[in-house]
Structure formats: structure tokens, C-alpha cells
Amino acid sequence: MKPPPQIVAAMFGVAALAVFPLLAPTYYAGLMIPFFAYAIALLGFNLLFGYGGLLSFGHAMFIGFGAYGTAVMAGVFGVKSFELALAAVVLGSALASIPIGLLCVRYTGIFFGISACCSTRSCSNSTTSPAATAACASRA
């Protein structure tokens, strides 16, 4: 039985991406890191908006949790292990998503988008306030 052409194309794409870091120069292989990070975020957005019909502005908040949390783990706490920082940031983001999800999931349509946007802004304001940045700077 011959596999469908979509399966063959997907297998070819996965094989090409697996071989790419071995064949490409280091610079181009390094460019793939943000590519995959944005691909993961866009897949989540596609699931939420494309299949669920819920417009969300909350994805930026969790990307910010990851970036800000990793910077604090490495810069303030001196964690050099990528795996440890990744595990801590994923756990922290998961814990932060519980109250945000409980608040936002009750709404549908544009109200879901507005509540997610408000959650993103409140988290942004709390992490960039002078008190929060001074606390992080004093620990460095």
C-alpha cells in the first residue's frame, strides 16, 4: 500500500529538518531556534483561533513569561543549565496560567480576546514596574 502524498511530504520535511543542523553553517542553524519558537506559538494560536474560534491576545504573555523567566534565571539566579531554566520557566508559566485560564475561559468571542488582552497588560505592567525591576537589579 502506497502512503498518501501528504505523509510522504511530512516525512521528507521532518528528515530535512533533522539533517539541517549537520549540513548548514552554524549561523543558519542558529536562525532556526527562533523559527521553531515562533512555530510553537503559532501552532497554539492556530489551535485556539483556527479550530476553536477564540481570538486570543494571551500568547504574547506566555512568550514573555518564557523570555523574562529565562533571563531572570540566568542573570539573577546564575542558572547556567538550559534544561533547568526551561523546566523552571515551564512550571512557572503553567502555574501562572491556572488563574488566568480560570478567569478567561468563561468568556467567548471578542470577550475572550479582551480578557486575555487585559491579562497580558496586567502581567506586563507588574513585571516592568519600577519596583519589580529594582528588585531584580538589586539581586544581580
Domain spans of the chain, in order of start = 54-139
Are residues 102 and 119 in contact, defined by beta-carbon separation less than 8 angstroms?
no
The predicted pLDDT at position 10 comes to: 93
pLDDT score recorded for residue 126: 59
| Rounded distance between C-alpha atoms, residue 8 and residue 63, angstroms | 32
- The grid cell for 2 is 502506497
Q: Residue 100 corresponds to which cell in the numbers above?
A: 488566568
Instruction: Give the count of beta carbons closer than 10 Å to the beta carbon of residue 40.
Output: 11
pTM of the model: 0.61
* CA atoms of 139 and 77, how far apart (whole Å): 8
Q: What is the pLDDT along the chain (140 residues), one digit of tens a residue?
A: 888 999 999 999 999 988 988 999 999 988 988 888 888 888 888 887 788 777 777 777 778 888 888 888 888 888 899 889 989 999 988 898 888 778 777 777 777 777 776 766 666 655 565 655 555 555 55
Q: Give the CA distances from residue 11 to residues 7, 15, 18, 29, 111, in Å, rounded to whole numbers and listed in that order.
A: 6, 6, 11, 20, 40
